[in-house]
Structure 1
Amino acid sequence: MTKTTHKFFILSILIPFFTFGQIDKKATKETKALYKNLKKISKSKILFGHQHATEYGHGWMGDTDRSDVKSVTGSHPAVIGIDFSGLSGRPKEAIEKTKETLRKNVVDTYERGGVTTVAWHFSNPASKGGFYWRDSISAPAISLIKVGGSHHQQYKEILQTLGDFAHSVKAKDGKLAPMLFRPFHEFDGGWFWWGKPHCSREDFMEVWQFTVSYLRDSLNVHNFIYTFSPDNKFASEEEFLERYPGDDWVDMVGMDNYGDFGRDGKYNLESGIKKLKIVSDYAIKANKLAAFTETGLESIPNLTWWTESLLKALKAEKMRLSYVLVWRNDRNSKTHFYAPYPDQVSVPDFIKFYNDPYTLFEKDLKRIYHRKFLGFL
């Protein structure tokens, strides 16, 4: 091998590590540290998350420093899910009120040392029907909000609102709280207006790329980690990546999967594990983060679901997953909840899940936003 050939051989090995990884080279120090530390954690542990955990829970809403998970274990979840659903398609006053509520939530989570992940149940900007696809009501808006589309300017204004919010989450230390931003989730299904039956692959990828570029490069949002998460309608890496916008546009890959984990009484853990491994393997190959972005068993009637279904799947195949998040606990419904509350039947098993060395909750984290991460307690 000549000296020149050797040089290009070395470069061919190193280029992927320079090209892939975190996509915002101007990300804040805290965001870069979070990205790095989530990758480190995923090698041996996993963060537990719960959607809307501190906003409301089973039979309550708006209480200070409360979550159903904390009421059961003494600790909030390590990952708190919020939603940008209220930041468009509503009167300006309502949007401003929502922004302030969310801002406090994000800052409080950051200051406690937890992590915020953001879903976006985005109301259709081109028609009525909300974020769900409604036959004869919903417009196929992905093609309309892309560059050159009839609603592109409106979409830019919506992204401006998101950008303003991202710049507002400043904590007492003067730093902006990082967020894991997960737009257009479950896009491989048809229940949302951005779903696969309602837009072309090319338009979906173009809108994703524009969204990241506009927030990052035009609006100077540098505290987002961008997460790509289909539902579970894939059985191979090729199917998983069918609408993937490219490694230059994604920080974290994930999957939402309720169907293999007990929905309607149906379990297929082998399939669920296979899909999680596809996600984890791709993240390792592309030098990305990976996560189990949504799952859960509504009402948790299975007394050992936490250890015999979820934990067993997470520990299989030596996967590298940064976090797992279960869905929300409705404050009014007696059946719509995904994390236990005091005296719920799965509490004893959830305590075992909590005490397992593999799972991390908020109390376990220490300096996750610092380059010199002190690990977990």
Structure 2
Amino acid sequence: MQKHFFIIAVLLITAIYSSAQKNRYKPIDANATAETKALYANLQQLSKKHILFGHQHATEYGHGWSSSDTSRSDVRSVTGSHPAVIGVDFSGLSGRPDDMIEKEKTRLQKIITDTYNRGGVITVAWHFNNPVSEPVFYWKDSTSAPAVKNIIPGGSHHQKYKAILSTIAALAKSVKGKDGKLVPMIFRPYHELDGYWFWWGKPYCTAHEFKTLWQFTVSYLRDSLHVHNFIYAFSPDNTFGTEAQYLERYPGNDYVDMVGMDNYNDLGRYGIYKMDSAILKLKIVADYALKAGKLAALTETGLESIPNATWWTEILLKTLRSAKMNLSYVLVWRNDATSATHFYAPYPGQVSVPDFLKFYNDPYTLFENDLKNIYKLKK
């Protein structure tokens, strides 16, 4: 009899565990669109053997050029393929005259829908201009006013913040592909929140205030404004060294789909290479994602001007492939159209092109041409 009950107990525990595992890796939005759910599931599956390569503003402009023709990118000029992940920014959707905001919405709609129609993935940064003081996203000691406490519920500028979120929601619900479906987007607000350079940074709000801001933002977009095509990404900078430090301002698993980090400092900035440190921090992120059933990514990195001719394979690729971490994507920052030195992806003739082609041809890395039906669930 005891053996019989033991077997039943084991089967019950196994069933409960299997059910819990089955429910992992799903968006926090139960009403997410089918395409958003598929993107989420496919990113998780692909991360077991691959990583998607991304580039910020890749099709908007590049080294020495800018164009409304989204068929061009510096990465495509070098490899024949766009990046798998294209980064855009919602910075132009507030703190400007209404007519300029409408023009920006139209511009973003084209970039986002063109990327989706080609089969690529969109990630959205938000360099959000301070809604309380002067409209800049950086913190300026002489002129910036604390904003987080003033835009959360009960704050003096809360209604203004709700109006800004309504603008974002309108854009999110307007971007439909040629198949008529809403375009899923990885929405990454309040990035590098542990730094001091943005007005939402650690010195300018308490942990409770930041968590409240994040939770309200997700809830209002998802539950009040009915945005159901966002995957929400949490990405501090790289100031942490333990899981506890990483989670200091984490708003909770019910409000985050993807965990990541931005890391330039450990991967060559100022000529300093600390790969062991980069791997340690990435492993903290990836291990937490595995434990919590979340996606993980290296949400921003890069080496400005790429003076190291073998940076792609000897630094970035080795870091990403270490410790068998499941990472959905890695994104490098933008290529400025006018600056001779501010670029993070190679362009034709740049010194790192031969190495970048090795990076491109490595089976581990995926570019846009490698993606197949990422918005459909695999049967």
TM-score normalised by length of structure 1? 0.96
Contact kept in structure 1, 2:26 and 2:41, CA below 8 Å: no
* Residue aligning to 2:279: 273
* Residue aligning to 1:45: 50
Question: C-alpha deviations, 1:17-61, integer Å up to 9, x for none?
Answer: 647742001000000000000000000000000000000000110
**Structure 1 counterpart SS, 2:173:** helix
* Residue aligning to 1:140: 146
Question: C-alpha deviations, 1:299-322, integer Å up to 9, x for none?
Answer: 000010000000000000000000
Contact kept in structure 1, 2:275 and 2:315, CA below 8 Å: yes
- The 5-angstrom pairing of residues 69-218 of structure 1 reads 69-128=75-134, 130-218=136-224
| Structure 2 residue corresponding to 1:57, chosen from 57, 62, 69 | 62
TM-score normalised by length of structure 2? 0.95
* Residue aligning to 1:345: 351
Shift of 1:334: 0.1
What is the root-mean-square deviation in Å for CA atoms of aligned residues?
1.6
| Structure 1 residue corresponding to 2:35, chosen from 26, 30, 34 | 30
**Structure 1 counterpart SS, 2:216:** helix
**Structure 2 counterpart SS, 1:189:** coil
Q: Do the aligned partners of residues 313 and 330 (structure 1) sit closer, same or farther apart at CA in structure 2, a change above 3 Å counting?
A: same
Contact kept in structure 2, 1:20 and 1:248, CA below 8 Å: no
Take 1:5 and 1:208, find their aligned partners in 2: how far apart are those partners?
40
Shift of 1:12: 6.1
Take 1:359 and 1:275, find their aligned partners in 2: how far apart are those partners?
21
**Structure 2 counterpart SS, 1:273:** helix
Contact kept in structure 2, 1:113 and 1:362, CA below 8 Å: yes
| Structure 2 residue corresponding to 1:299, chosen from 297, 305, 324 | 305
| Structure 1 residue corresponding to 2:336, chosen from 297, 306, 330 | 330
* Residue aligning to 2:228: 222
| Bigger mean CA deviation after superposition, 151-160 or 135-144 | 135-144
**Structure 2 counterpart SS, 1:156:** helix
User: What is the identity, as a one-letter code, of the residue corresponding to 2:331?
Assistant: L
User: What is the identity, as a one-letter code, of the residue corresponding to 1:103?
Assistant: Q
Take 2:26 and 2:244, find their aligned partners in 1: how far apart are those partners?
20
Contact kept in structure 2, 1:59 and 1:332, CA below 8 Å: yes
**Structure 1 counterpart SS, 2:123:** strand
Contact kept in structure 1, 2:25 and 2:41, CA below 8 Å: no
- The 5-angstrom pairing of residues 357-368 of structure 1 reads 357-368=363-374
* Residue aligning to 1:263: 269
Question: C-alpha deviations, 1:90-148, integer Å up to 9, x for none?
Answer: 00000000000001000000000000000000000000150000002111100000000
Q: Do the aligned partners of residues 16 and 127 (structure 1) sit closer, same or farther apart at CA in structure 2, a change above 3 Å counting?
A: farther
Contact kept in structure 2, 1:21 and 1:286, CA below 8 Å: no
Take 1:242 and 1:255, find their aligned partners in 2: how far apart are those partners?
14
Q: Do the aligned partners of residues 8 and 125 (structure 1) sit closer, same or farther apart at CA in structure 2, a change above 3 Å counting?
A: farther
Take 1:201 and 1:162, find their aligned partners in 2: how far apart are those partners?
25
Take 1:279 and 1:344, find their aligned partners in 2: how far apart are those partners?
32
User: What is the identity, as a one-letter code, of the residue corresponding to 2:300?
Assistant: E
Take 2:329 and 2:323, find their aligned partners in 1: how far apart are those partners?
16
Aligned length: 373
Take 2:342 and 2:136, find their aligned partners in 1: how far apart are those partners?
21
Take 2:130 and 2:141, find their aligned partners in 1: how far apart are those partners?
13
Aligned-residue identity in percent: 67
| Structure 1 residue corresponding to 2:73, chosen from 67, 72, 82 | 67
Q: Do the aligned partners of residues 67 and 300 (structure 1) sit closer, same or farther apart at CA in structure 2, a change above 3 Å counting?
A: same
Once superposed, which parts of structure 1, at least 4 consecutive aligned residues long, lie more than 2 Å away? 1-21
| Bigger mean CA deviation after superposition, 193-202 or 136-145 | 136-145
Take 1:33 and 1:230, find their aligned partners in 2: how far apart are those partners?
26
Take 2:11 and 2:324, find their aligned partners in 1: how far apart are those partners?
34
Q: Do the aligned partners of residues 102 and 336 (structure 1) sit closer, same or farther apart at CA in structure 2, a change above 3 Å counting?
A: same
Take 1:207 and 1:357, find their aligned partners in 2: how far apart are those partners?
40
**Structure 2 counterpart SS, 1:82:** strand
Question: C-alpha deviations, 1:54-108, integer Å up to 9, x for none?
Answer: 0000011015210000000000000000000000000000000000000100000
Q: Provide structure 2 residue ranges, at least 5 long, that are not aligned to the other structure.
A: none
Shift of 1:215: 0.4
Question: C-alpha deviations, 1:332-363, integer Å up to 9, x for none?
Answer: 00000000000001101000000001000000
Take 2:68 and 2:146, find their aligned partners in 1: how far apart are those partners?
39
